[in-house]
Amino acid sequence: MRNVTAGLSIAVLLILGAAACSSGSDNASSSKNSTTTAGSNSTTTAPKTTTTLSSTHCATGQLKGSLGETQSGAGQRYTTLVLTNTGSKECDLRGFPGVSLVDATGKQIGQPASREGSEGATVMIQPGGTASATLHTSAAGMGAQCDPTSAQLRVYPPDNTESLMIAAAYSACGGFRVTTLVSGSAGN
């Protein structure tokens, strides 16, 4: 009889414990940021926010993209992504550009760049002025698998659904990341 009572007590405790764990779903599944790690690749998803765009927000059509200098060191490569205001009025951008590698046929190569760091302040760009971000990847030969070299980069300026293309031979090894935009052409 003792064994039956002990067995029932354990079963009741397990059921109550499971119910207590599942009833706290507001705390367990309402995380605003999620990180997924698989092998050496990691992806971070930031919470979606609703922003009201200013009347001076830069549209893709008034921007030209280019790549600046690449700095290498300690098995890493840092390349500046520059957006130039080709319009006749100042405009502003805030956040991370969306960046993908594209082959000669327009097909995306690998995964788009993930975000590195936190979102910065709004950047005002005068006509002819620039804002820039930094693309970061591992150098070839450092053990990470490299994607095929791109023919172009597809860039979505922050809060734009239209992209611009930059002719560029770029290879991401072990994935690649993009920082938030800052003022000027030096990246961050």
Q: What is the pLDDT of residue 20?
A: 38
86/98 Cα distance (integer angstroms): 20
* CA–CA gap between residue 114 and residue 29 (Å, rounded): 23
Locate the domains of the chain by residue range: 60-183
SS (HEC) of the chain: CHHHHHHHHHHHHHHHHHHHHHHCHHHHCCCCCEEEEECCEEEEECCCCCCCCCCCECCHHHEEEEEEEEEEECCEEEEEEEEEECCCCCEEECCCCEEEEECCCCCEECCCCEECCCCCCCEEECCCCEEEEEEEEECCCCCCCECCCCCEEEEECCCCCCCEEEECCCCCECCEEECCCEECCCCC
- Pairing status of strand 176-178 against strand 114-115: parallel
Asked: is 60-183 a CATH 1.10.3470 domain? The reply is no
Structure confidence at residue 66 (pLDDT): 98
**What does the pLDDT profile of the chain (188 residues) look like in tens digits?**
444 444 434 443 334 343 333 333 333 333 333 333 333 333 333 334 445 677 899 999 999 999 999 999 999 999 999 999 999 999 999 999 999 999 999 999 999 999 999 999 999 999 999 999 999 999 988 888 999 999 999 999 999 999 999 999 999 999 999 999 999 999 98
